[in-house]
């Protein structure tokens, strides 16, 4: 079956603009995760959704970052007033049950803020 998909694959934006990144999880997966990987850094957890429960936003680096998940499926990560330090690869993953099962990752969105 189809894996996790993300769009766009690449995004170049100007400092101060807002961007939206999209994630389509594997069908039937109730858990969805967002991470980012900055150049030379390890993966950083951002936010986690489990079904229709309120998300765990503890990893979001600032209030410019927000995410939503509509209908328990597609998720959008929004970065407002982008800064150059937001440049990174943003990865989405999904799993069938929170924390208990293998996470399947999408190919990522490479964001460059000029």
Partner 1 sequence: KQEVTQIPAALSVPEGENLVLNCSFTDSAIYNLQWFRQDPGKGLTSLLLIQSSQREQTSGRLNASLDKSSGRSTLYIAASQPGDSATYLCAVTINFNKFYFGSGTKLNVKP
Which lies closer to partner 1 via its Cβ, residue 85 or residue 101?
Answer: 101
Shortest Å distance, C-beta 102 to partner 1: 5
Given 45, 61, 83, 85, the residue binding partner 1 (CB under 8 A): 45
- Interface region with partner 1, contact rule CB under 8 A, candidates 13-21, 33-41, 71-79, 80-88: 33-41
Q: Which of positions 55-94 make contact with partner 1 (CB under 8 A)?
A: 56, 58, 91, 93
Residues 6+ apart with CB under 8 A from 99: 31
Angle in degrees, CA 85, 89, 90, rounded to 5: 100
Question: DSSP string covering 8-30, please?
Answer: -SEEEE-TT--EEEEEEPPTT--
State both tokens at 91: 């990865």
Per rule CB under 8 A, count of chain residues that contact partner 1: 26
């Amino acid at each position: 079956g189809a894996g996790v998909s993300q769009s766009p694959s690449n995004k170049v934006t100007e400092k101060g603009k807002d961007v939206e990144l999209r994630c389509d999880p594997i069908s039937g997966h109730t858990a969805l995760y967002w991470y980012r990987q900055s150049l030379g850094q390890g993966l950083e957890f951002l936010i986690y959704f489990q079904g229709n429960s309120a998300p765990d936003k503890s990893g979001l680096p600032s209030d410019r970052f927000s995410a939503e998940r509509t209908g328990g499926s597609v998720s959008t990560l929004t970065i407002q007033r982008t800064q150059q330090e937001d440049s990174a690869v943003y990865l989405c993953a999904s799993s069938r049950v929170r924390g208990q099962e293998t996470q399947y990752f999408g190919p990522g969105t490479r964001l460059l803020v000029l």
